[in-house]
Structure 1
Amino acid sequence: MARMQKTLQFPRQRGVITLRSLLLLFAGGLLLLVLVAAISVSFDRFRDYMTDQLRGHSRDGATAIGLSLSNAIDGRDPVAASSLIDAVFDSGRYLSVVYLDNNGEEIAGREASLKEIDVPDWFVSLADLPLPVGEAEVVRGWSRLGKVRVVSHPGRAYEDLWKVTVRTAAGTTLIAAAGLVGLFWTITRLLRPLRAVERQARALGRRDFRRRVDITSTRELNQVTHAMNQMADDLGQLFEGQAKLIQHLRKINNEDSVTGLASRRAFEQRLKVEVESEERAAPGVLLLIQLADFVLYNQTYGREEADRLLVRIAAAIDSFTRQHSDSFAGRLTGAGFGVFLPGVSRADGLIWSRNLVEELDGIYCDLSAPMEVSVHAGIAQAAGNRNVRDLMAAADEALRQAQAEASSACHAADTERHEHYNSETWRTIIEQSIRNNQLSLWLQPMVREGDGEVLFHQVFSRMKTTDGWIKASIYVPMAERFGMIPDIDRWVLEHSLSMLRAQPGIRLAMALGVVSVASDEFRQELLEKLATSGPERQRLQIGISEQAIHHHRVQVGLWVRALNRLQVPVIVDRFGVGGVPFSYLRNLRFQALRIDSSFIHNIDSHEDNRFYLESVTTIAHSRGVRVYVTGVEAESEYSALRGIGIDGAMGYHLGRPFEAGQGGRSQ
Structure 2
Amino acid sequence: MQQERPEQHRSSAITLRTLLMLFTGGLVLLLITISMAVSFDRFRSYMAEELEGRTRDAATAIGLSVSNAIDASDVVAVGRLIDSVFDSGDYLSVAFVDHENRQIVGRSRSLDDLGVPGWFMELADLPRPVGTADVLQGWRWLGQIRVRGHPGNAYRDLWRVSLSLALAAVVVGSLALVLLYVLLGRLLLPLRTLERQAKAIGRRDFRLRTKVRSTRELNHVTQAMNQMTEDLEQLFAGQAALISHLRRINNEDSLTGLASRNAFEQRLAVETVSEEERKPGALVLVQITGFADFNKRLGRPEADQLLIRAATEIREFLHEHAGSFAGRRAGAEFAVFIPGGAPADALLWARDLVEKLQTVCIEFIGEADPDGLALTVHAGVAGTSERVSVKSLFESADVALRRAQTSGISGCELADTDLEVHHGAEQWRVLLERALEREQLWLWQQPLVAASDELPVFQQVFSRVLVDGEWIRGNVFVPIAERYGIMARIDLMVISRVLERLETEPRAVLGLSLGASSVADAEFSATLVEKLEAAGPLVERLWVGVPEQVVHYRRRNAQVFIRRLRRCGAMVMVDRFGVGGVPFSYMKNLPIQALRIDSSFVHGIDRHDENRFYLESMITIARGRGVRVFASGVETEAEWRTLKAAGVDGAIGYHLGRPAPPGAG
Coarse TM-score class (shorter-chain normalised): 0.5 to 0.7
CA 458–363 in structure 1, closer or farther in 2 if over 3 Å, else same: same
Tell me the secondary structure at the aligned position of residue 394 of structure 1: helix
Cα deviation per residue 1:420-448 (whole Å; 9 max; x = unaligned)?
Answer: 52121011011111110111011011112
CA 395–208 in structure 1, closer or farther in 2 if over 3 Å, else same: closer
Q: d(CA) in 1 for partners of 2:196 and 2:290?
A: 66
1:398 aligns with 2:395: no
User: For structure 1, which segment, 265-274 or 243-252, has the greater mean C-alpha deviation from structure 2 after superposition?
Assistant: 243-252
> Contact 1:197 / 1:227 at 8 angstroms: preserved in 2?
no
1:266 aligns with 2:263: yes
> Contact 1:441 / 1:460 at 8 angstroms: preserved in 2?
yes
Q: d(CA) in 2 for partners of 1:587 and 1:227?
A: 26
- Displacement after TM superposition at 1:236 (Å): 4.2
> Contact 1:346 / 1:420 at 8 angstroms: preserved in 2?
no
Alignment partner of 1:408 out of 395, 402, 410: 410
One-letter amino acid matched to 2:597: I
Cα deviation per residue 1:233-275 (whole Å; 9 max; x = unaligned)?
Answer: 5444334322211111111111111111111111110111111
Tell me the secondary structure at the aligned position of residue 649 of structure 1: strand
1:97-496 matches, cutoff 5 A: 200-202=197-199, 204-205=201-202, 209-210=206-207, 233-369=230-366, 370=369, 371-414=373-416, 417-496=419-498
Tell me the secondary structure at the aligned position of residue 337 of structure 1: strand
Partner residue in 1 for 2:639:
637
Q: d(CA) in 2 for partners of 1:605 and 1:486?
A: 38
CA 219–521 in structure 1, closer or farther in 2 if over 3 Å, else same: farther
1:18-57 matches, cutoff 5 A: none
Cα deviation per residue 1:537-564 (whole Å; 9 max; x = unaligned)?
Answer: 1110010011111122222222322332
Tell me the secondary structure at the aligned position of residue 659 of structure 1: coil
> Contact 1:345 / 1:381 at 8 angstroms: preserved in 2?
yes
> Contact 1:196 / 1:228 at 8 angstroms: preserved in 2?
no
Q: d(CA) in 2 for partners of 1:540 and 1:198?
A: 32
- Displacement after TM superposition at 1:470 (Å): 0.8
> Contact 1:402 / 1:410 at 8 angstroms: preserved in 2?
yes
- Displacement after TM superposition at 1:373 (Å): 1.7
Gaps of 5+ in 2: 1-189
Partner residue in 2 for 1:174:
none
> Contact 1:243 / 1:619 at 8 angstroms: preserved in 2?
yes
Q: d(CA) in 2 for partners of 1:522 and 1:207?
A: 36
One-letter amino acid matched to 1:275: T
One-letter amino acid matched to 1:399: L
1:664 aligns with 2:650: no
RMSD between aligned alpha carbons?
Answer: 2.5
1:562 aligns with 2:574: no
One-letter amino acid matched to 1:274: E
CA 194–653 in structure 1, closer or farther in 2 if over 3 Å, else same: closer
- Displacement after TM superposition at 1:220 (Å): 8.9
Alignment partner of 1:605 out of 604, 607, 612: 607
User: For structure 1, which segment, 529-538 or 215-224, has the greater mean C-alpha deviation from structure 2 after superposition?
Assistant: 215-224
Q: d(CA) in 2 for partners of 1:373 and 1:202?
A: 62
Q: d(CA) in 1 for partners of 2:329 and 2:213?
A: 60
Q: d(CA) in 2 for partners of 1:245 and 1:571?
A: 24
One-letter amino acid matched to 1:361: Q
Q: d(CA) in 2 for partners of 1:226 and 1:434?
A: 61
Q: d(CA) in 1 for partners of 2:218 and 2:558?
A: 37
One-letter amino acid matched to 1:366: E
- Displacement after TM superposition at 1:405 (Å): 1.3
- Displacement after TM superposition at 1:492 (Å): 1.0
Cα deviation per residue 1:364-421 (whole Å; 9 max; x = unaligned)?
Answer: 1221343222011000111241111111111111001001011111000126542252
Structure with higher Rg: it is 2
Tell me the secondary structure at the aligned position of residue 645 of structure 2: coil
Tell me the secondary structure at the aligned position of residue 473 of structure 1: helix
User: For structure 1, which segment, 578-587 or 481-490, has the greater mean C-alpha deviation from structure 2 after superposition?
Assistant: 578-587
Q: d(CA) in 1 for partners of 2:217 and 2:559?
A: 37
Cα deviation per residue 1:440-468 (whole Å; 9 max; x = unaligned)?
Answer: 01101111225321111111201111151
Q: d(CA) in 2 for partners of 1:397 and 1:222?
A: 73
Q: d(CA) in 1 for partners of 2:531 and 2:384?
A: 39
Tell me the secondary structure at the aligned position of residue 483 of structure 1: coil
> Contact 2:252 / 2:263 at 8 angstroms: preserved in 1?
yes
> Contact 2:450 / 2:457 at 8 angstroms: preserved in 1?
yes
CA 219–565 in structure 1, closer or farther in 2 if over 3 Å, else same: farther
- Displacement after TM superposition at 1:224 (Å): 7.8
Partner residue in 2 for 1:585:
587
CA 575–420 in structure 1, closer or farther in 2 if over 3 Å, else same: farther
CA 452–214 in structure 1, closer or farther in 2 if over 3 Å, else same: closer
User: For structure 1, which segment, 291-300 or 520-529, has the greater mean C-alpha deviation from structure 2 after superposition?
Assistant: 520-529
CA 232–292 in structure 1, closer or farther in 2 if over 3 Å, else same: same
Q: d(CA) in 1 for partners of 2:560 and 2:419?
A: 48
Q: d(CA) in 1 for partners of 2:532 and 2:208?
A: 27
User: For structure 1, which segment, 559-568 or 640-649, has the greater mean C-alpha deviation from structure 2 after superposition?
Assistant: 559-568
- Displacement after TM superposition at 1:567 (Å): 2.7
Tell me the secondary structure at the aligned position of residue 457 of structure 2: strand
Identity of aligned residues (%): 51
CA 637–207 in structure 1, closer or farther in 2 if over 3 Å, else same: closer
- Displacement after TM superposition at 1:203 (Å): 5.1
Tell me the secondary structure at the aligned position of residue 410 of structure 1: strand
Q: d(CA) in 2 for partners of 1:533 and 1:243?
A: 38
Partner residue in 2 for 1:552:
554
Q: TM-score, normalised by structure 1?
A: 0.67
> Contact 1:328 / 1:340 at 8 angstroms: preserved in 2?
yes
CA 458–199 in structure 1, closer or farther in 2 if over 3 Å, else same: closer
Tell me the secondary structure at the aligned position of residue 335 of structure 2: strand
Q: TM-score, normalised by structure 2?
A: 0.67
CA 195–649 in structure 1, closer or farther in 2 if over 3 Å, else same: closer
Q: d(CA) in 1 for partners of 2:193 and 2:592?
A: 29
Q: d(CA) in 1 for partners of 2:234 and 2:530?
A: 36
> Contact 1:461 / 1:471 at 8 angstroms: preserved in 2?
yes
Q: d(CA) in 1 for partners of 2:504 and 2:240?
A: 41
Tell me the secondary structure at the aligned position of residue 470 of structure 1: strand
- Displacement after TM superposition at 1:199 (Å): 7.3
CA 310–441 in structure 1, closer or farther in 2 if over 3 Å, else same: same
Residues paired across the two proteins, number:
471
Q: d(CA) in 2 for partners of 1:649 and 1:317?
A: 33
Tell me the secondary structure at the aligned position of residue 653 of structure 2: coil
Tell me the secondary structure at the aligned position of residue 633 of structure 1: coil
Partner residue in 1 for 2:113:
none
- Displacement after TM superposition at 1:625 (Å): 1.2
One-letter amino acid matched to 2:551: I
CA 564–231 in structure 1, closer or farther in 2 if over 3 Å, else same: farther
> Contact 2:547 / 2:576 at 8 angstroms: preserved in 1?
yes
Tell me the secondary structure at the aligned position of residue 390 of structure 1: helix
